[in-house]
Amino acid sequence: MAENIEVYLADFMRDRKCIEELRMRVFVREQGVPENLEMDEREVYCQHFLACCDGVAIGTARLDLELKGKMGRLAVIKPYRRRGVGRQLVERIHQSARESGLSEIWCHAQLSAQNFYSVLGYEAEGNIFEEAGIEHVTMRYTLVK
């Protein structure tokens, strides 16, 4: 588990530049997602979360309440992966979803991240599909009140 990690609900208008930089670094530069696909029209409707270590942003994710609890854009910069940051982001999203009255969360998980979500209790459903040039699977998690 990473130390000195704080995960909080971000203010998208204030924190947009930081959120965008994290996602560009992980998805566009590392994974080759086309830059024009990374930020989308759903941004302003989502709750955004930031993970910081000693005040430096190291990860982000979002929750779209209007899309029945779609979690997405989970990104943690390389030096902090496999240190519990992603888990902390997901747990904070679960908390926010419960507070918003949702009974489940779902996401389009990259196949390379399927095990990460499975360990957290998510279950895969449906067929594998391509999104932004990367294979994904829909995964769902039932929130316990």
Residue 131, both tokens: 């999104």
| Cross-strand pairs, 61 | 49
d(CA 68, CA 108): 13
Q: Provide, rounded to the nearest whole percent, the portion of the chain with pLDDT above 70.
A: 97
pLDDT in tens, 48-74: 999 999 989 999 999 999 999 999 999
Domains of the chain by residue range: 5-142
CATH topology of domain 5-142: Aminopeptidase (3.40.630)
Would you state the structure tokens that stand for residue 102, as one six-digit string?
A: 């949702």
Residue-averaged pLDDT of the chain? 93
For the question of whether the overall pTM of this predicted structure is more than 0.85, the answer is yes
Q: pLDDT at position 2, please?
A: 47
